[in-house]
Amino acid sequence: MSCASEEENDSKLSIWYYGEDKSILGKALLHLTAVEISLDVDADRDGVVEKNNPNKGTWKWGPKGHGAILLVNCDSEWRYAKTLDSEQNFISTDSDLKDMSLMVLRTKGPAKLPEGYKLTMHISQGDAESIRVFMKHYPMMLNSGVLTREVPYVGGSEEVHFYVEGRRFPDKDFNGLISINLSLLEPINQALPETPIFTDKVVFRVAPWIMTPNTLEPIEVFVCSTSDNKKFLQGMRNLVGGSGYKLKICHEYVNRGDRWMQDELEFGYVDAPHHHFPVVLDSPRDRELNNFPYNVLLGPDFGYVTRVPHRRDVSSMDSFGNLEVSPPVTVNGKEYPLGRIIIGVAFPTATKGRNMTKVVQDFLWAQTVQEPVALFSDWLVVGHVDEFMTFVPAPDRKGFRLLLTSPDAGYKLFRGLQRDGHGKAKLFDVLGKNLGIPKPFGPKVNGHCALEAEMCRLMDGLGLKCTFIDDFAAYHKLLGEVHCGSNVRRKAFEFKWWNVEM
Instruction: Return the active site residues.
Output: 484
Instruction: Answer yes or no whether residue 346 interacts with its own copies by CB under 8 A.
Output: yes
> Please, which of residues 444-483 interact with its own copies by CB under 8 A?
none
Minimum CB separation from its own copies for residue 253, in Å?
Answer: 38
Which lies closer to its own copies via its Cβ, residue 24 or residue 191? 191
Query: In this chain, which of 155, 273, 299, 353 binds its own copies, going by CB under 8 A?
Result: 353
Residue pair 77/85 in contact (Cβ under 8 Å)? The answer is: yes
Instruction: Answer yes or no whether residue 358 interacts with its own copies by CB under 8 A.
Output: yes
Distance from C-alpha of 228 to C-alpha of 250, rounded to nearest angstrom? 14
Which lies closer to its own copies via its Cβ, residue 196 or residue 273? 196
Instruction: Answer yes or no whether residue 192 interacts with its own copies by CB under 8 A.
Output: yes
Which lies closer to its own copies via its Cβ, residue 81 or residue 192? 192
Left, alpha or beta for 332 (phi > 0: left; psi -120 to 50: alpha)? left
Query: In this chain, which of 47, 63, 126, 156 binds its own copies, going by CB under 8 A?
Result: 126
Instruction: Answer yes or no whether residue 189 interacts with its own copies by CB under 8 A.
Output: no
Distance from C-alpha of 453 to C-alpha of 484, rounded to nearest angstrom? 24
Query: In this chain, which of 57, 196, 273, 423 binds its own copies, going by CB under 8 A?
Result: 196
Which lies closer to its own copies via its Cβ, residue 25 or residue 192? 192
In terms of C-beta density within 10 A (0-12 exposed, 13-18 middle, 19 or more buried), how is residue 396 classed?
A: exposed
Residue pair 180/202 in contact (Cβ under 8 Å)? The answer is: yes
Minimum CB separation from its own copies for residue 346, in Å?
Answer: 8
Instruction: Answer yes or no whether residue 359 interacts with its own copies by CB under 8 A.
Output: no
Which lies closer to its own copies via its Cβ, residue 144 or residue 243? 144
Which lies closer to its own copies via its Cβ, residue 327 or residue 383? 383
> Please, which of residues 200-239 interact with its own copies by CB under 8 A?
none
Instruction: Answer yes or no whether residue 351 interacts with its own copies by CB under 8 A.
Output: yes
Instruction: Answer yes or no whether residue 54 interacts with its own copies by CB under 8 A.
Output: no
In terms of C-beta density within 10 A (0-12 exposed, 13-18 middle, 19 or more buried), how is residue 387 classed?
A: buried
> Please, which of residues 366-405 interact with its own copies by CB under 8 A?
379
Distance from C-alpha of 26 to C-alpha of 33, rounded to nearest angstrom? 24
Query: Read out DSSP for 83-119?
Result: --GGGSSS--SGGGGGGSEEEEEEEEESSSPSTT-EE
Please list, residue by residue across 291-316, b when 16 or more beta carbons sit within 10 angstroms of its beta carbon and e when fewer do. Answer: ebbbeebbbbebbbbbbeeeeeebbb
Instruction: Answer yes or no whether residue 362 interacts with its own copies by CB under 8 A.
Output: yes
Cα dihedral 355, 357, 360, 361 sign: positive
Question: CB count, 10 Å around CB of 479?
Answer: 14
Minimum CB separation from its own copies for residue 226, in Å?
Answer: 33
Query: In this chain, which of 45, 149, 205, 384 binds its own copies, going by CB under 8 A?
Result: 149
**Beta strands per DSSP E along 1-73:** 11-18, 24-32, 36-40, 68-70
Piece of 180-188, 264-272, 301-309, 437-445 that binds its own copies (CB under 8 A): 180-188
Which lies closer to its own copies via its Cβ, residue 196 or residue 421? 196
Query: In this chain, which of 31, 79, 172, 201 binds its own copies, going by CB under 8 A?
Result: 172
Distance from C-alpha of 420 to C-alpha of 69, rounded to nearest angstrom? 60
Instruction: Answer yes or no whether residue 300 interacts with its own copies by CB under 8 A.
Output: no
Q: Residue 163 is inside which H or E element, if any?
A: strand 156-166
- SS3 (DSSP) at 449: strand
Which residues bind to its own copies, rule: CB under 8 A? Answer: 120, 122, 124-126, 129, 147-150, 172-173, 181, 183, 185, 191-194, 196, 199, 346-353, 355, 358, 361-362, 379
